[in-house]
Amino acid sequence: MENILSILVFFPAVAGLLGFVVDKKSARAYGITVAAIEFLLSLWLWFSFDSANAGMQFVEMIPLIPDFGVSYYLGVDGISLFIVIMATLMTLIGMMSMSIKENVKNMIVTLLFLEMTMVGVFVALDAIIFYLFWELSLVPMLYIVGAWGGPLRVYAAIKFFLYTFAGSLIMLVGLLFMAYVYHNLTGVWSFAITDWYAMVLPVNYQLWLFAAFFIGFAIKVPMFPFHTWLPYAHGQAPTIGSVILAAVLLKMGTYGFVRFSLPMFPDASVMAITPIAFISIIMIIYTAMVAYAQKDIKQVIAYSSVSHMGIIMLGLFAMNAEGISGSVFQMLAHGIVSGALFMLVGMIYDRMHTKEMSKFGGIAAVMPKYAVIFGIMTMASVGLPLTMGFVGEFLVLLGFYEISPIMTILAGTSIILGAVYMLSVLKKTFFGPITNEAVKKLKDLTPLETWSLVPLVLIVIWLGVYPKPVLEPIDNSVKAMLTFMHEKAITPEAKEIIKVPQTIMEVK
């Protein structure tokens, strides 16, 4: 199918526009149908993808502003392919499990526009097109939090917008300066990311540009100390907002590091290893402790997201195939698991109208299906072997061990701390005597809720037991990137640390 990426990007938006004329009663079914078609298109992209080819595939390029080198330039490689699939999957699953009853039609249209921006970010290979999709993604999310959120929704929405928009403006300065430098070197303007890869920049340029991109991406991740917007956004967002935010939007930041910072600024990236590892370890340990102290079950999951994003950041700066491939895989694992956990929290909130764990207790006795699925996702969250969460965390720690054994051991405490706060949630919520009469009246998962959760459970177990179908294409593209970074590096330290990749250990 020609122009498959353009179809993936704009089909949800066109369907969203048509959604305005759909009857209110049919809006939910319409949205699920559109999201299902989009997901099937992304699966077709996977089946047509050549896993042995580490470069960009399904490339589309149309000059838009030739005089300034702005083009409609799209493509996917092993790194972006599965993030696109995850974005379409979680949008579909989120719509299926959505419990919103007010202004459903507006929510469906908003989600379809949000899906367009998310897919656009992950397939854009022109910096201006990337930036447009990046900024446009703020608008639907701002509306979702501000219109359907909790009592502090306006504060949470504005804080989310101001933080991420401020970071984006600094990143825009970096993008424009990159184009200016390219023009000075070649005499032509270009915003194509692949053209920028060919530039070998002086180390001082790399450091300043790395800093500009870092601020934009770090706020989106969100890295410590820029993380304070996230608990508010999660706490006030409706369930569908939290699912999309945790599963997909946070990955824009980590994806930005892989697509821009590492290949464009290899020397600056090597110089940043220690400070970023230090910040990542703070994220891992500090936010895990904060998660344990929470009384609100949704806030536990929100802070655990920051902790897990710390693991992903650590792997990205391991500068070897194990660490970076594990990090990209962990993006997918975190997206699936955290999205499922937020869905589960939303389901219990719809029944109890509270997120305080002290009001729960003994739920396993009255909601056994719910308890089993929550337990499986909890085990995946803490990185239990044979679940998806284990594969990514193991490869990240294996990769970063080559950089610093001591920092790796500190980061490895995430497994222990994760077990502490997540098992504490299980104990308080599902076991013990029933002290709240409302718990006795709870009903187990509905068929629709079950159908929306079971696919995620199967993915978590399948990719925990046999991750090769996903890990192999990721690994091929990561190896190509590392080889390119090694050749492009200027300083001897960078050439020594950036490893020309060997065959990654296959998990059979």
Please choose, from the candidates 55, 78, 100, 236, the residue with its C-alpha nearest in 3D space to the C-alpha of residue 156.
236
pLDDT tens digits along 142-154? 888 888 877 888 8
What is the average pLDDT value for the chain, to the nearest integer? 88
Alpha carbons 207 and 225: distance in angstroms, whole number? 20
Once rounded to an integer, what is the mean pLDDT over residues 208-215?
A: 92
pLDDT at res. 507: 38
Which stretches of 294-404 are DSSP H helices? 297-316, 321-352, 363-366, 368-381, 388-400
pLDDT tens digits along 272-328? 999 999 999 998 998 888 888 888 888 888 888 888 889 999 999 988 888 999 999
Please choose, from the candidates 508, 242, 281, the residue with its C-alpha nearest in 3D space to the C-alpha of residue 404.
281
Alpha carbons 127 and 317: distance in angstroms, whole number? 22
Does the structure show a pLDDT above 60 at 224?
yes
For the chain, the farthest-separated pair of C-alpha atoms sits apart, in whole angstroms, at 74
Measuring CA to CA, how many Å separate 158 from each of 31, 139, 153, 228, 230? 27, 11, 8, 13, 12
Once rounded to an integer, what is the mean pLDDT over residues 125-140?
A: 92
Is there a contact between 363 and 442 (Cβ–Cβ < 8 Å)? Answer: yes
Side-chain-side CA neighbours of 305 within 13 Å: the count stands at 36
pLDDT at res. 306: 87
Measuring CA to CA, how many Å separate 61 from each of 6, 48, 49, 68? 11, 19, 18, 15
Side-chain-side CA neighbours of 147 within 13 Å: the count stands at 18
Which one-letter amino acid corresponds to residue 136?
A: L
pLDDT at res. 1: 65
- What does the block give as tokens for 468? 């090769």
Measuring CA to CA, how many Å separate 232 from each of 57, 140, 235, 346? 39, 17, 5, 16
pLDDT tens digits along 463-491? 999 999 999 999 999 998 998 888 888 88
Domain ranges of the chain: 1-224, 272-466
pLDDT at res. 11: 93
Does the structure show a pLDDT above 90 at 220?
no
Rounded CA Rg of the chain: 22
pLDDT tens digits along 301-312? 888 888 888 999
Which one-letter amino acid corresponds to residue 441?
A: K
Please choose, from the candidates 201, 5, 35, 205, the residue with its C-alpha nearest in 3D space to the C-alpha of residue 109.
35
pLDDT at res. 122: 93
- What does the block give as tokens for 37? 């078609």
Q: Is 182 left (phi over 0), alpha (psi -120 to 50) or beta?
A: alpha
Alpha carbons 127 and 194: distance in angstroms, whole number? 10
- Which residue carries 């308890």 as its tokens? 371
Rounded (5°) CA angle 337-343-345: 105
Phi, psi of 21 (to 5 degrees): -100, 0
pLDDT tens digits along 53-63? 888 889 899 99
Task: Mark 251-267 as b/e (b = at least 16 C-beta within 10 Å).
Answer: bbbbbbbbbbbbbbbbb
pLDDT grade for 268, boundaries at 50, 70 and 90: very high
pLDDT at res. 502: 62
Q: Which residues contact 237 (CB under 8 A, 6 or more apart)?
A: 144, 145, 148, 149, 150, 153, 156, 245
Which stretches of 3-77 are DSSP H helices? 4-19, 27-48
Residue 346 is given by DSSP the state H
Q: Which residues contact 186 (CB under 8 A, 6 or more apart)?
A: none
Q: Which helix (H) or strand (E) holds 52?
A: none
pLDDT tens digits along 387-444? 998 998 999 999 898 888 898 898 888 888 888 888 888 888 888 788 777 878 888 8
- The per-residue DSSP string of 215-252 comes to HHHHHHTTPTTGGGHHHHHHHHS-HHHHHHIIIIIHHH
Does the structure show a pLDDT above 60 at 51?
yes
Q: Which residues contact 168 (CB under 8 A, 6 or more apart)?
A: 131, 134, 135, 138, 216
pLDDT grade for 91, boundaries at 50, 70 and 90: very high
Pairing of strands 70-76, 57-65: antiparallel
Q: What residues does 65 pair with on adjacent strands?
A: 70
Does the structure show a pLDDT above 50 at 450?
yes
pLDDT tens digits along 370-399? 899 999 999 999 888 999 989 989 999 998
Once rounded to an integer, what is the mean pLDDT over residues 89-94?
A: 92
pTM: 0.91
- What does the block give as tokens for 193? 């990311």
Measuring CA to CA, how many Å separate 42 from each of 320, 361, 404, 443, 466? 29, 40, 38, 35, 21
Is there a contact between 268 and 391 (Cβ–Cβ < 8 Å)? Answer: no
Which stretches of 52-188 are DSSP H helices? 78-97, 104-123, 127-136, 138-148, 153-186
- The per-residue DSSP string of 442-500 comes to -----HHHHHHHHHHHHHHHHHHH--HHHHHHHHHHHHHHHHHHHHH--SHHHHHHSPP
Is there a contact between 431 and 366 (Cβ–Cβ < 8 Å)? Answer: no
pLDDT tens digits along 329-372? 999 999 999 999 999 998 888 888 888 887 888 888 888 898 99
